[in-house]
Amino acid sequence: MDSDSKNIGKIFVTEEEIQAKVKELGQLITKDYAGKNPLLVGVLKGAFIFMADLIREIDLECDVDFMAVSSYGAATRSSGVVRIIKDLDADLTDRDVIIVEDIIDSGLTLSYLKKNLLARLPQSLEVCAMFVKEGLQKTNETVKYEGISIPPDFVVGYGLDAAEKFRGLSYLAAYLKD
């Protein structure tokens, strides 16, 4: 889908590498949450594909909810100002919550989300992020379930967009500006 576009550069992570990592993360979560009923909180829109793949690799009864936040607007740099566009339906009180993120860049979005969700008194709160950009984190948030480390370039695919495009690519590639 759109894979011949002149805006698509080097492939950083192939579809096979993504699927293998998602499987590994799912197995880890299955082991760590044995006997529990975790609530996966997906951060829209970027995490929708990762969430769909991840939940099928977790061999537990999981609940799912989504939250939509905006940290970039149409820009390609995080401003640190996070806006909640859609809040959760679920009550987090005493739940084992796992935030499911597409990518950690500056970490500012995650930092805000963790603070916001912790205030709702969950039993536990962990983070599962598919991609983490090397060297860009401005915060010290711990990501218990960390997927694949990538260079600090702007990337698209596997749910990630550039101005809403390229989310449907099955791999992760560099985005080349016009």
Peptide bond into 138 cis (omega under 30): no
Judged by CB under 6 A, the stretch of 2-10, 11-19, 59-67, 99-107 that binds ligand IMP is 99-107
Q: Which residue in the set 64, 148, 154, 168 belongs to the binding site for ligand IMP (CB under 6 A)?
A: 154
105 is a catalytic site residue = yes
**What is the closest distance, in whole angstroms, from the C-beta atom of residue 61 to ligand IMP in the complex?**
26
Is residue 104 within 8 Å of 143, Cβ to Cβ? Answer: yes
Contacts with 115 (C-beta within 8 Å, 6 or more apart), sequence order = none
Q: d(Cα 122, Cα 93) in Å, to the nearest integer?
A: 5
Chain residues 110-139 in contact with ligand IMP, contact rule CB under 6 A: 110
27 SS3 class:
helix
DSSP 1: -
Residue type for position 136:
L
Q: Name the catalytic one among 2, 87, 105, 153.
A: 105
171 near ligand IMP, rule: CB under 6 A: no
53 near ligand IMP, rule: CB under 6 A: no
What residues act catalytically? 105
- Which residues of this chain interact with ligand IMP, rule CB under 6 A? 43, 46, 71-72, 78, 101-110, 154-156, 160-161
